[in-house]
């Protein structure tokens, strides 16, 4: 359980509410089951979890390229690259569930009673907390996507012609995940009332987005130059 304190008419009120969690965890589902849940009419999983999953697939492809390159390289020369891809893959996987749980908390807040001033104040306060949390999860995702784009660009030097297209796909997935994460940040920020928080989170998002399209194009242009018919 969580507790929030809300001051209404000069009096402090405390309301206890449950932490929303998705059970079973999305990351424990099969690919088919995850797709079925995504296609259902339920609110979760949604675009945020799908974006995180796309990022995980992109990181996995970058890791594959690194491991294939390592077979013909000096022992240990690509270990750092591979370790970074594995760390990102784990981060994206965790974000699949974290995004769903963050949205579920928004849904819990929306369902809180608001029949009087006290209840309406508690609901509003909790909704703002939930929206802030729901903005920060995809914001972390966006930052992870830029790190993945950086890895994919570095991976161009490692990829043989047989797997150069895979690093290109990884970059495309990274950008798709980034754009998806950005949309989820923006939709939550639109309902936040704290202008200072909105400005801070917006600036952080802008840093992740700046130059991302150009970086992805550099990667895919290079890939296409290597595989052109």
Q: Domain ranges in the chain? A: 2-31+49-227
- The pLDDT of residue 200 is above 70: yes
What pLDDT sits at residue 44?
83
Cα(175)–Cα(150) distance, integer angstroms: 11
For 201-222, the pLDDT digits (tens) are: 999 999 999 999 999 999 999 9
What pLDDT sits at residue 8?
40
Band (21; pLDDT cuts 50, 70, 90): low
Mean pLDDT, the chain, integer: 90
Who has greater pLDDT, 129 or 42?
129
Mean pLDDT of 76-87: 96
What pLDDT sits at residue 229?
73
For 152-188, the pLDDT digits (tens) are: 999 999 999 999 999 999 999 999 999 999 999 999 9
Contact status, residue 33 vs residue 39, Cβ threshold 8 Å: no
Who has greater pLDDT, 81 or 14?
81
Band (45; pLDDT cuts 50, 70, 90): confident
**Phi, psi at 95, each rounded to 5°:** -70, -25
Band (23; pLDDT cuts 50, 70, 90): low
DSSP the chain: -EEEEEEETTEEEEEEEPPP--SS-GGGS-HHHHHHHHHSSSSSS-HHHHHHHHHHHHHHHHHHHHHHHHTTS-TTTTHHHHHHHHHHHHHHHHHHHHHHHHHHHHHHHHTS--SSHHHHHHHHHHHHHHHHHHHHHHHHHHHHHHHHHHHHHHHTTT--TTTHHHHHHHHHHHHHHHHHHHHHHHHHHTT---HHHHHHHHHHHHHHHTTHHHHHHHHHHHHHHHH--
What pLDDT sits at residue 25?
85
For 136-155, the pLDDT digits (tens) are: 999 999 999 999 999 999 99
Q: Domain 2-31+49-227, what fold?
A: 1.20.120
Contact status, residue 61 vs residue 172, Cβ threshold 8 Å: no
User: Buried (b) or exposed (e) across 72-95, using 16+ Cβ within 10 A?
Assistant: eeeeeebeebbebbbebbebbbbb
Contact status, residue 26 vs residue 97, Cβ threshold 8 Å: yes
- The pLDDT of residue 12 is above 90: no
């Amino acid at each position: 359980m969580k507790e929030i304190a809300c001051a209404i008419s000069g009096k402090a009120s405390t309301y206890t509410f449950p932490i929303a969690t998705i059970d079973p965890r999305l990351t424990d589902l099969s690919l088919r089951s995850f797709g079925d849940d995504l296609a259902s009419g339920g609110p979760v999983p949604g675009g945020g979890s799908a974006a995180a999953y796309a990022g995980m697939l992109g990181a996995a492809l970058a890791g594959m390229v690194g491991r294939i390159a390592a077979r013909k390289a000096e022992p240990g020369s690509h270990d750092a690259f591979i370790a970074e891809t594995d760390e990102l893959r784990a981060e994206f996987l965790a974000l699949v569930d974290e995004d769903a749980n963050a949205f579920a908390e928004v849904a819990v807040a929306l369902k809180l009673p608001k029949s009087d001033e006290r209840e309406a104040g508690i609901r509003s306060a909790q909704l703002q907390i939930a929206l802030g949390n729901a903005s920060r999860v995809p914001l972390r995702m966006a930052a992870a996507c830029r790190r993945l784009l950086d890895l994919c660009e570095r991976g161009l030097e490692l990829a043989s012609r047989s797997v150069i297209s895979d690093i290109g796909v990884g970059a495309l997935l990274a950008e798709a995940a980034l754009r998806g994460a950005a949309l989820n940040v923006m939709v939550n920020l639109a309902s936040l009332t704290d202008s200072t928080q909105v400005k801070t989170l917006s600036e952080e998002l802008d840093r992740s987005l700046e130059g991302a399209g150009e970086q992805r194009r550099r990667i895919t242009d290079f890939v296409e130059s290597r595989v052109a018919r």
